[in-house]
Amino acid sequence: MMRKLDSYRSIESVLHSSDFQPALHIRDSRPLLDGCVLTLTGQEHRERRRLERPLFERSALEFYEHQTFKSSLQIAFQQAEAQRDEAGRPQVDLLWLTRMTLVPVTAAVVGLDGVDNEAAVIHLEDISRRLGEGASVEWSNRNHQEVMEEAMEAKDDLLVNFYNLSLERRRDLVTRWKSGDIEERDLPTDLLTLALREYFDDFDDDLWLRESLFFVVASANTTTHATPHVFNEIIKWRDEHPEESHLLEQEVFVRHAVDEALRLHGPVPALLRRALKNTDAIAGHSFLADDDIGCMLGPANTDQEIYGAQSAIFDPHRPEVLGRRAAHGLSFGSGAHICSGRPLAIGLPSPRDGGPEVIGVLPRLISELLSRGARLDPENLPTTRNDTKAERYASYPLIFETWPK
Ligand code: HEM
What is the DSSP annotation of 340-385? TTHHHHH--PPPTT-------HHHHHHHHHHHTTEEE-TTS--EE-
Q: How far is the CA of 359 from the centre of ligand 1 (A)?
A: 17
Please check whether residue 248 is in contact with residue 119, taking contact to mean a CB–CB distance below 8 angstroms. no
Count CA within 13 A, CB hemisphere, residue 121.
25
List Cα–Cα distances, 15 to 238, 268, 369, in angstroms: 35, 15, 35
Q: Is the CB of 228 under 6 A from ligand 1?
A: no
Ligand 1 atom closest to 220 (CA):
27
**What's the Cα-to-Cα distance from 43 to each of 48, 139, 204, rounded to whole Å?**
9, 30, 19
Task: Indicate which atom in ligand 1 lies nearest the CA of residue 267.
Answer: 5
Q: What is the mean pLDDT of residues 51-69?
A: 95
CA of 175 to the centre of ligand 1 (A): 31
pLDDT at 404 over 70: no
Indicate which atom in ligand 1 lies nearest the CA of residue 45.
41
| Atom of ligand 1 lying closest to residue 226 CA | 1
Q: Is there an atom of ligand 1 within 6 Å of 61 CB?
A: no
Distance between CA atoms of residues 222 and 395, nearest Å: 15
pLDDT surpasses 90 at 187: yes
What angle, rounded to 10 degrees, do the helices at 94-110 and 222-240 form?
Answer: 140
What single-letter DSSP state applies at residue 333? -
pTM given for the model: 0.94
pLDDT band at 280 (very low <50, low <70, confident <90, very high): confident
pLDDT at 133: 87
Q: Please choose from 46, 301, 339, 344 the residue to mutate so as to test ligand 1's pocket, defined by most ligand atoms within 8 A of CB.
A: 339
Distance in angstroms (rounded) separating the CA atoms of residues 259 and 262 = 5
Residue nearest to atom 39 of ligand 1 (CA): 337
* 170 neighbors 192 (Cβ within 8 angstroms): yes
**Residue 68, ligand 1, Cβ within 6 A:** no
CA of 289 to the centre of ligand 1 (A): 26
Write phi, then psi, for 391 (nearest 5 degrees): -85, 95
Q: Is the CB of 167 under 6 A from ligand 1?
A: no
Quote the CA–CA distance of 233 and 310 in Å, as a whole number: 15
Task: Express each pLDDT in 85-135 by its tens digit.
Answer: 777 777 889 998 998 899 999 999 999 999 988 789 889 989 998 998 898
- When pLDDT is cut at 50, 70 and 90, the band that residue 25 belongs to is low
Q: What is the CATH number of the domain that holds 45?
A: 1.10.630.10
Average pLDDT of the residues in 8-20: 93
Evaluate whether residue 182 is within a structural domain.
yes
pLDDT of residue 324: 63
Cβ–ligand 1 distance for 38 under 6 Å, the answer yes
Report if residue 300 sits inside a domain: yes
> Which residue puts its alpha carbon closest to atom 3 of ligand 1?
222
Between 304 and 283, residue with greater pLDDT: 304
| Domain carrying residue 22 | 2-400
Protein residue closest via CA to atom 42 of ligand 1:
341
For ligand 1, pick from 222, 258, 392 the residue to mutate: most ligand atoms within 8 Å of CB. 222
Amino acid identity of residue 218, one-letter, is A
Q: Above pLDDT 90, what percent of the chain? A: 68
Q: What is the pLDDT of residues 380-397, one digit of tens each?
A: 899 988 777 667 888 999
In a domain, 107, yes or no: yes
Provide mean pLDDT across the span 9-19: 93
Residue 405 lies in a domain: no
Query: pLDDT per residue over 348-377, tens digit each?
Result: 988 877 778 889 999 999 999 999 899 998
Q: H/E element holding 316?
A: none
Residue-wise pLDDT tens digits, 219-230:
988 899 999 999
Residue 282 is predicted with a pLDDT of: 75
All residues at 6 or more sequence positions from 225 whose CB lies less than 8 Å from its CB, including other chains: 267, 390, 392, 393
Model pLDDT, residue 325: 66
**Total structural domains within the chain:** 1
> How sure is the predictor about 161, in pLDDT bands with cuts at 50, 70 and 90?
very high
Distance 108 CA to ligand 1 centre (A): 17
Percent of the chain surpassing pLDDT 70: 97
Cα 161 to ligand 1 centroid, rounded to whole Å: 25
Q: Is a pLDDT exceeding 90 seen at residue 36?
A: yes
Quick check: is 218 in a domain?
yes
| Mean local confidence (pLDDT), 151-163 | 96
Lowest mean pLDDT among 22-36, 198-212, 248-262: 22-36
What's the CA-to-centroid distance between 132 and ligand 1, angstroms? 13
What confidence tens digit (pLDDT) does each residue in 292-324 have? 999 999 999 999 999 999 999 999 999 888 866
Determine the pLDDT at residue 380: 86
188: closest CA among 113, 111, 105? 111
Q: Output the pLDDT for position 401.
A: 82
> Is ligand 1 within 6 A of the CB of residue 23?
no
For ligand 1, is residue 102 a contact (CB within 6 Å)? Answer: no
Alpha helices for 217-354 (secondary structure H): 222-240, 251-264, 297-301, 304-307, 318-322, 324-327, 342-346
Ligand 1 contact, 341 CB (< 6 A): yes
- pLDDT at residue 163 above 70? yes
User: How high is the pLDDT of residue 405?
Assistant: 59
Q: Average of pLDDT values for 49-67? A: 95
CB 64 less than 6 A from any atom of ligand 1:
no
Q: Is residue 248 part of a domain?
A: yes
Average pLDDT, the chain: 91
Which range of 29-43, 75-89, 121-135, 330-344 scores highest in mean pLDDT? It is 330-344
- Alpha carbons 334 and 13: distance in angstroms, whole number: 9
Tell me if 238 is assigned to some domain. yes
